[in-house]
Copies of this chain bind each other. A is one copy, B any other.
Amino acid sequence: MPTTTAAQKRAHAKVEYDSFLSQCPSRQLLDRISDKWVALILAALGSEGPQRYSELSRRLAGVSQKMLTQTLRSLERDGLLTRTVTPTVPVTVTYELTDLGLSLQRVMWAVKLWAEAHMDEVLVNRKQYDNRL
């Protein structure tokens, strides 16, 4: 970076205007679960138990391996899942939810249930809104 410009200003602005919100735990948690693959990984591991890398990549069809690896790493870092390497040949890697990860998965499950119960209602609302333009 040659000339220190926008990044600094934003970083500076953030601490002044966002001070009380950035301290809020719900804010930090949002950044975690708002990643669209997080909820999917949680759901996959929560409903089907421990799984290997290749199983997950097949289950979450459409995810690039970059995103899958990146998301798994951050979840491991947060202690929501464990990564176990078995030195077979070729190597076998298994991912499994921790107790902490399981507790979050249960909360997210309620959100999933809400979606299944109300999503069609939302869809109807959208059509109505779009038609009265």
Measured CB to CB, the residues of A under 8 A from B are 13-14, 17-18, 20-21, 25-36, 39-40, 43, 60-62, 76-80, 100, 103-104, 107-108, 110-112, 114-116, 118-122, 124-126, 128-130
Contact = CB atoms under 8 A, between A and B. Distances in A.
Given A110-B107, A126-B78, A36 B30 contact: yes
Contacts of A32: 122
B100 A21 contact: no
A23 to B, nearest CB: 11
Q: How many copies does the complex hold?
A: 2
Given A26-B115, A29-B111, A122 B39 contact: no
Given A61-B17, A62-B17, A126-B77, A25 B115 contact: yes
